[in-house]
């Protein structure tokens, strides 16, 4: 997948749309996830109340972000968790590598973490002779196939069982071909059990970090997250710095919103709250726990009150499941780590509009994402802001990186002409008349050049012989 480079979005989505297998796999999965979520949150009144609570908790946490981060660091340190700060993914990777090398470790086992994807940690570690093995079943599947997650919750959802059966048969030694899901599951269990035994360092993400107690919370169903954070002698948790919450009391509503929105579950199999490394006398758990706080543009996003709302996200993936664009393309077409509506607002802010601004165009503005968002992120407002800033040089300190990148002289002149034309009644009347007269002779909409994407999916309207203004005048109506 592309990283820090301009994504060829038209090419990607054409490819995705022409892949019937992908579209089928996605469609049935997204419909199921949506249905499960609706079943769980079946009472709109209590859901709205819960959502308001979630929104408030996240807003309150973000308002106090610098203070909470300092508090989290202080509490974690008191508890024996070592806190590290990284401005960029490169710095975060380096921090992880140094910890791993200090322990002479070469085998890292990983729980699912989107921030580690953002860091491209596995790739980086591989370059330094460290094997980082994904242990979440979905992540394991795509790692075997050298792919990236196509969804933030169900990372291998673009694949069906036949494709996974083939993959296991080809890539795991002595594995018979089977399409039975339980058997595929058992194969992965067996392989990964060995890896859990041999893992020297465990890496995980963080779902919520509680500032008042210095507690790292992890949500999962499989138990691999618990394995990675319990069996090896060292645990490294990587976290986007926006994931902090103020109080322990903030956790229950967010947990309910997260599991319900993500997979329609009341609660996951495991909720794992880690407050310290192994204490004297304890028999298991890591002897060292490290927390890596990654900024990667978040502090800049935070500075703008509107864009800051992006950081309320709890990564439930509901906006992906309900997006008419995502459900037809899947995650890979977006070309970056975070796909779907949340990816379309987050990524351009991190990577800049030049590289990822096209993602903001991947929306129909239907608003389904906002309707399901458990923390009420105004996704469409932010999309609109990104689209606007793509065409405008903005003179404010919080402008999105790359603002005005789509600015073109021809386009500006065209719109200026359009404005003038509409400000002068005579010009308007003349152009309406001309269009009416020439309607039959007008060429078809351009299929190449500047307007090709616009033109390809539209047909030219037939202009009336006489304009509405003219007709109104004739009827003696006031025409102003």
Partner 1 sequence: MNNARANILARLWTAISPDDLAPFESSVAGSALELSRTERVARLKQRMEAMHAEVVITSANGWIDALKATLRQRLLNGLLYAPDTALGKALAAVWDSDLPPLVGYTETIEQCKERLFAIDASITSTQGGLADVGALILWPDSDEPRLMSLAPALHIAVLDAAKIHDSLAQAIAHEHWREKMPTNILLISGPSKTADIELVLTFGVHGPKELIVLILDG
Q: Which of residues 218-277 bind partner 1 (CB under 8 A)?
A: 221-224, 226-227, 230-231, 233, 241, 247-249, 251-253, 255-256, 263, 266-277
Nearer to partner 1, 197 or 471 (CB): 197
Q: What's the token pair of residue 202?
A: 């465990």
Binding segment (CB under 8 A) for partner 1, from list 116-124, 281-289, 377-385, 439-447:
281-289
Q: How far is the CB of 163 from partner 1 (least distance, A)?
A: 10
| Residue 255 Cβ vs partner 1, minimum distance, rounded to whole Å | 7
Cα distance between residue 118 and residue 439, in whole Å: 52
Task: Check if the beta carbon of residue 16 is closer than 8 Å to that of residue 329.
Answer: yes
Task: Say whether residue 19 binds partner 1 (CB under 8 A).
Answer: no
As measured in angstroms, the least distance from the Cβ of 46 to partner 1 is: 7
Indicate whether 64 belongs to the interface with partner 1 (CB under 8 A): yes
Is residue 480 close enough to count as binding partner 1 by CB under 8 A? no
Q: What are phi and psi of 3, to 5 degrees?
A: -140, 135
Least CB distance from residue 327 to partner 1, whole Å?
14
**Interacting positions 179-208 with partner 1 (CB under 8 A):** 181-182, 184-185, 188-189, 192-193, 196-197
Between 307 and 325, name the residue whose CB sits nearer to partner 1.
307
SS (H, E, C) 152-211: CCCCCCCCCHHHHHHHHHHHCCCCCCCCCHHHHHHHHHHHHHHHHHHCCEEEECCCEEEC
Taking CB under 8 A as the criterion, the residue among 2, 6, 10, 87 binding partner 1 is: 87
CA angle centred on 122, ends 222 and 208, rounded to 5°: 50
Q: Under rule CB under 8 A, which residues in 89-108 are in contact with partner 1? A: 91, 95
Comparing CB distances to partner 1, the nearer of 7 and 61 is 61
* CB-nearer residue toward partner 1: 137 or 360: 137
Residues 283-342 that bind partner 1 (CB under 8 A): 283-285, 293, 295, 299-300, 302-303, 305
- Beta-carbon contacts of residue 306 (< 8 Å; ≥ 6 apart): 378, 381, 382, 385
Residue 47 CB, nearest approach to partner 1 (Å): 12
Sign of CA dihedral 353, 359, 362, 364: negative
Cα separation of 202 and 286, whole Å?
9
Instruction: Considering the complex, state which of residue 81 and residue 432 has its C-beta at the smaller distance from partner 1.
Output: 81
Helices (DSSP H) in 322-474: which residue ranges? 326-329, 340-351, 353-356, 368-372, 379-391, 409-423, 425-438, 452-456, 468-474
The answer to whether residue 22 forms part of the interface with partner 1 (CB under 8 A) is no
Does position 23 interact with partner 1 (CB under 8 A)? The reply is no
Which one of residues 278, 384, 406, 473 is an interface residue with partner 1 (CB under 8 A)? 278
Window 28 to 57, contacts with partner 1 (CB under 8 A): 28-29, 32-33, 46, 49, 52-53, 56
CA dihedral 239, 240, 246, 251 (to 10 degrees): -60
**Alpha-carbon distance 437 to 249, whole Å?**
70
Strand order in the sheet with 201-204: 81-86, 288-294, 234-240, 201-204, 107-110, 131-134
Out of 135, 207, 261, 344, name the contact with partner 1 by CB under 8 A. Answer: 135
Closest separation in Å from C-beta 341 to partner 1: 21
CA angle 233, 234, 235 (to 5 degrees): 130
Please give the size of the binding site for partner 1, defined by CB under 8 A: 97
* Binding of partner 1 by 215 (CB under 8 A): yes
- 336, 351 Cβ separation under 8 angstroms: yes
Residues composing the chain: 480
Nearer to partner 1, 124 or 196 (CB): 196
Q: Rounded distance, CA 173 to CA 250, Å?
A: 46
* Tokens (6 digits) for 424: 């002068």
CB of 290 to partner 1, least distance (A): 12
The C-alpha atoms of residue 96 and residue 127 are separated, in whole angstroms, by 13
Q: Which of 20, 281, 443, 449 binds partner 1 (CB under 8 A)?
A: 281
- Establish if 160 lies at the interface with partner 1 (CB under 8 A): yes
């Amino acid at each position: 997948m592309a990283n820090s480079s301009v994504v060829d979005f038209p090419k990607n989505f054409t490819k995705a749309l022409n892949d019937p297998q992908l579209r089928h796999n996605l469609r049935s999965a997204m419909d199921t996830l949506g249905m499960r979520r609706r079943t769980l949150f079946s009472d709109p009144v209590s859901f709205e109340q819960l959502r308001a609570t979630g929104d408030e908790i996240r807003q309150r946490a973000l308002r106090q972000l610098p203070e909470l981060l300092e508090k989290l660091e202080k509490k974690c340190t008191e508890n024996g968790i070592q806190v590290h700060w990284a401005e960029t993914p490169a710095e975060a990777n380096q921090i992880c590598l140094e910890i791993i090398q200090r322990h002479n470790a070469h085998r890292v086992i990983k729980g699912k973490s989107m921030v580690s994807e953002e860091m491209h940690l596995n790739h980086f570690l591989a370059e330094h002779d460290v094997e980082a093995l994904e242990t979440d079943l979905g992540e394991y599947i795509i790692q075997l196939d050298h792919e990236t997650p196509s969804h933030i919750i169900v990372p291998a959802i673009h694949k069906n069982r036949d494709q996974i059966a083939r993959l296991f048969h080809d890539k795991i030694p002595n594995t018979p071909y089977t399409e039975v899901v339980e058997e595929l599951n058992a194969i992965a269990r067996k392989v990964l059990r060995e890896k859990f035994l041999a893992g020297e360092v465990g890496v995980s993400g963080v779902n919520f970090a509680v500032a008042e107690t210095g507690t790292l919370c992890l949500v999962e169903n499989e138990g691999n997250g618990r394995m990675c954070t319990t069996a090896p002698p060292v645990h490294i948790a990587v976290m986007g710095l926006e994931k902090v919450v103020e109080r322990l009391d903030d956790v229950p509503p967010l947990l309910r919103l997260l599991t319900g929105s993500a997979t329609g579950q009341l609660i996951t199999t495991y909720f794992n709250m880690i407050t310290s490394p192994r204490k004297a006398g304890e028999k298991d758990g890591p002897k060292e726990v490290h927390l890596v706080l990654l900024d990667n543009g978040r502090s800049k996003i935070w500075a703008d009150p509107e864009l800051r709302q992006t950081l309320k996200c709890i990564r439930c993936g509901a906006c992906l499941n309900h997006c008419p664009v995502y459900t037809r393309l899947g995650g890979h077409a977006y070309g970056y780590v975070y796909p779907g509506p949340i990816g379309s607002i987050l990524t351009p802010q991190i990577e800049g509009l030049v590289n990822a601004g096209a993602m903001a165009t991947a929306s129909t503005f239907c608003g389904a994402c906002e309707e399901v968002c458990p923390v009420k992120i105004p996704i469409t407002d932010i999309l609109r802001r990104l689209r606007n800033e793509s065409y405008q040089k903005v003179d404010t300190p919080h402008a999105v990186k790359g603002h005005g990148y789509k600015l073109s002289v021809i386009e500006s002149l065209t719109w200026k002409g359009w404005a003038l034309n509409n400000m002068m009644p005579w010009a308007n009347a003349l152009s309406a008349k001309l269009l009416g007269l020439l309607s039959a002779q007008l060429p078809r909409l351009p299929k190449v050049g500047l307007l090709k994407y616009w033109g390809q999916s539209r047909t030219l309207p037939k202009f009336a012989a006489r304009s509405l203004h003219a007709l109104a005048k004739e009827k003696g109506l006031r025409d102003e």
